[in-house]
Amino acid sequence: MSRYRGPRLRIVRRLGELPGLSRKQPKHAYPPGQHGQERKKKTEYGVRLEEKQKLRFNYGLTERQLLRYVRQARRVKGSTGLVLLQLLEMRLDNTVFRTGMAPTIPAARQLVRHGHITINGKVVSIPSYGCRPGEVISVKDSEKSRKLVEQNLEFPGLANTPSHLEFEKAKLTAKINGVVEREWIALQVNELLVVEYYSRQA
């Protein structure tokens, strides 16, 4: 299944607020479609599916990528759900978004893909790159790159930078001091239901 490229507000209306996908607010509070205003009772499977879809669309993953992250999280000691969220939050595209250098995760992915972002002085164009504590993320030393990021910083997607990141706006550099804590994850999601959803596949 390929990455979603359709109307973003349609997904926001169906799943609720997704800070990484879109900054816009939908005009209607109910789900899209002919029967959107009808209140249907969700099955247990439906609730788990919805939580899984929140992760997929917010972080811009394919089904295969998300399943791979769940399997990776299962191999790590500790709460699988928390480890899964930390793996997703420490992706390079999401880290760039959380510093405010891009308004959304898709915009951050584009910055990375086009070679505007460096890690420890080297250009990294892989959005799924897993950032590690001690690494320094900065904007490539070119006028075009700096201008793009400076424009984005005027209207950041989220107001606060997480505690594990140290961002210097003047230098356009961010240092990773640790792993993100659960309280700093902006997405409202029940990660345990996502793990349950994948329990037979992972």
CA distance 162 to 28: 30
The CATH number assigned to the domain holding 150 equals 3.10.290.10
Helices 44-59/63-74 angle, 10° precision: 100
Tokens of 108: 């951050």
Q: Does any domain span residue 113?
A: yes
The CATH number assigned to the domain holding 47 equals 1.10.1050.10
Provide the domain count of the chain: 2
Lookup result for tokens 């892989």: 126
Q: Does any domain span residue 1?
A: no
In tens, the pLDDT along 151-191 reads 888 877 676 788 899 999 889 999 999 999 988 888 889 99
**So what's the pLDDT on residue 25?**
63
Tokens of 74: 């299962």
Q: Is 173 helix (H, G, I), strand (E, B) or coil?
A: strand
Q: Does any domain span residue 156?
A: yes
Q: Could you list the residue range(s) of the whole structural domain that residue 100 is in?
A: 92-178
Q: Does any domain span residue 2?
A: no
**Band of residue 46 on the pLDDT scale cut at 50, 70, 90:** confident
Domain identity same for 157 and 98: yes
In tens, the pLDDT along 23-41 reads 666 665 656 655 556 667 7
pTM value is: 0.85
In tens, the pLDDT along 81-131 reads 999 999 999 999 999 999 989 998 999 999 999 999 999 999 999 999 999
Q: Which amino acid is at 48?
A: R
Domain identity same for 15 and 67: yes
